[in-house]
Structure 1
Amino acid sequence: MQTQIGTRDITLAQARQQASTVFLAKVFNWMAIGLTVTGVVAYFVAASGMVRALIASPVFFILVLVELGLVFFLSARIERMQPGTATGLFVGYSVLNGVTLSTIFLAYTHASIAATFLVTAGMFAAMAVYGMVTKRDLSGLGSFMFMGLIGILLASLVNLFLKSSSLHWAISAIGVLVFVGLTAYDVQKIKNIGEDGIMTQGEAAVRKGAIIGALALYLDFINLFLMLLRFFGGSRD
């Protein structure tokens, strides 16, 4: 009897791990799609020359507000959406973010942007692997990193008026640590969702779960990239 129970436990553990692996793959696939869309849009908007007119126009700030609204709307309402709607909003957000991020091509060289992207990818991959394999519960880390994120947002608002270079670099350094930590936390959370049975809840639930997970990791990656770009980006001036 003990052997049978032990075998059953192993089988269940393997099934949970396999379900988690499949779900993580879906999440990372959608995240990759989002990053690709953003990168392509950003490059072509910059290359077309529209970015200079855009940044001088009120339309730029409207787009930023729409982006923020989309993130909150998608996060809050995804359970009530159709999978196709959630997917469309995620792709639409990726397009809008590409438009606004095209401005980095005015400030930094192409070479430094590419190099920073590779550094970001390496750091992100390392923390994603850590989040997948660690046995430590990262819930406490996630809460701490979220408080750090709130602090970064408040300090950034204050620095709009102070224009302190010291505070700017401090925010950037803390930002790197925050988004590195959030990456590990979010990956572990997504892994746990996969293990907890989302793969048995139907195609719609899996798609929406993958989209919201991809959005979280997409934001971690983009924000880590922007923080690192402040350190490694070569100015065009």
Structure 2
Amino acid sequence: MAQFDTIRSAAGARTAEIDAGLRAHMNKVYGTMSVGMFITFIAAWAIAGLAVTSDPTGATAQIGAGKFLTPLGNALYLTPLKYVIMFAPLAFIFFGFGAAMNRMSAAGVQTMFYIFATLMGLSISSIFLVFTGQSIIQVFLITSIAFAGLSLYGYTTKKDLSAMGTFLMMGLIGLFVAMIVNIFMQSTAMMFAISAIGVLIFAGLTAYDTQKVKTTYLELAHSGDQEMLGKAAIMGALSLYLDFINMFMFLLHLFGNRE
């Protein structure tokens, strides 16, 4: 992180101000991300609760001992609508946030992030049907510990991770293509490989994105544009949120106990 040290040295008397501003910026990033995570898991849990019933009356399908899909559950998980729900968060990122950054205020972008977090909850709600509650909690804790360590490394390391970030983004594109292919192949072995590689990619991206959040702040801090700094914090929260969610989902597929 030579850039950070250079800016601090050049700032002279403003060094303490830059450090304090960076701490506040990172606190906002992690705080916004945490709220988004909370919204996602509450939404997923609530939607899964509406999709499953123990009453066979009016149920559309049985999915386990004493568990039946409601009409809502049938629509979400057993019809082509499931593909719309699956890819809706991705479409939201590409077509929603890009326009929001240019046209909305920081408060508006933050609201969009929370809407996106709710939509992501809908997209991953099936985990509460597929995996046991205990394994979901265990994998969440494992992901939290790993994420904290990787993010701390990205924040404190003096090494420039930009080259690694380029490599990881290329790997992410390949991973996405493999996931699309496996939707039709339904290969267990391929899904295992995708999950293992996905964990490694998003572990690396966690460190890279943390460093990027830090450098972005440094690039914008000298301008004093609080509106842009606010938007940058939300977009940084989005990047780290996606790293966490994806790492969690891949770890859950690898180590989660199924119902």
**Length-normalised TM-score, structure 1:** 0.89
For 2:30, the aligned partner's letter is F
- CA-to-partner distance for each residue in 1:151-193, whole Å, 9 max, x for gaps? 1111112222333222211111110010000000000010112
Alignment check: 8 A CA contact 2:97 2:109 kept: no
The aligned residue for residue 141 of structure 1 is 164
| Cα offset, 1:8, TM superposition | 7.2
Superposed CA RMSD in Å reads 2.1
Distance 2:244 2:198 in 1: 12
Higher relative contact order (CA 8 A, sep 6+): 1
| Cα offset, 1:10, TM superposition | 5.2
For 1:49, the aligned partner's letter is A
Q: CA separation of 1:16/1:195 partners in 2, compared to 1, >3 Å: closer, same or farther?
A: farther
Alignment partner of 1:155 is 2:157 = no
**Unmatched 5+ residue regions in structure 2?**
1-7, 53-71
The aligned residue for residue 33 of structure 2 is 31
The aligned residue for residue 69 of structure 1 is 91
Alignment check: 8 A CA contact 1:19 1:195 kept: no
The aligned residue for residue 127 of structure 2 is 104
The aligned residue for residue 173 of structure 1 is 196
**Length-normalised TM-score, structure 2:** 0.82
**Unmatched 5+ residue regions in structure 1?**
1-5
Alignment partner of 1:182 is 2:189 = no
SS in 1 for 2:228: helix
Distance 1:52 1:199 in 2: 51
Alignment partner of 1:84 is 2:86 = no
Alignment check: 8 A CA contact 1:83 1:208 kept: yes
Higher share in helix? 1
The aligned residue for residue 3 of structure 1 is none
Q: CA separation of 1:57/1:13 partners in 2, compared to 1, >3 Å: closer, same or farther?
A: same
The aligned residue for residue 44 of structure 1 is 46
Alignment check: 8 A CA contact 2:9 2:15 kept: no
Q: CA separation of 1:49/1:194 partners in 2, compared to 1, >3 Å: closer, same or farther?
A: same
Distance 1:76 1:157 in 2: 24
The aligned residue for residue 220 of structure 1 is 243
Aligned match for 1:197, one of 220, 229, 246: 220
The aligned residue for residue 234 of structure 2 is 211
SS in 1 for 2:159: coil
Distance 2:51 2:187 in 1: 31
Distance 1:114 1:167 in 2: 25
Distance 2:16 2:250 in 1: 38
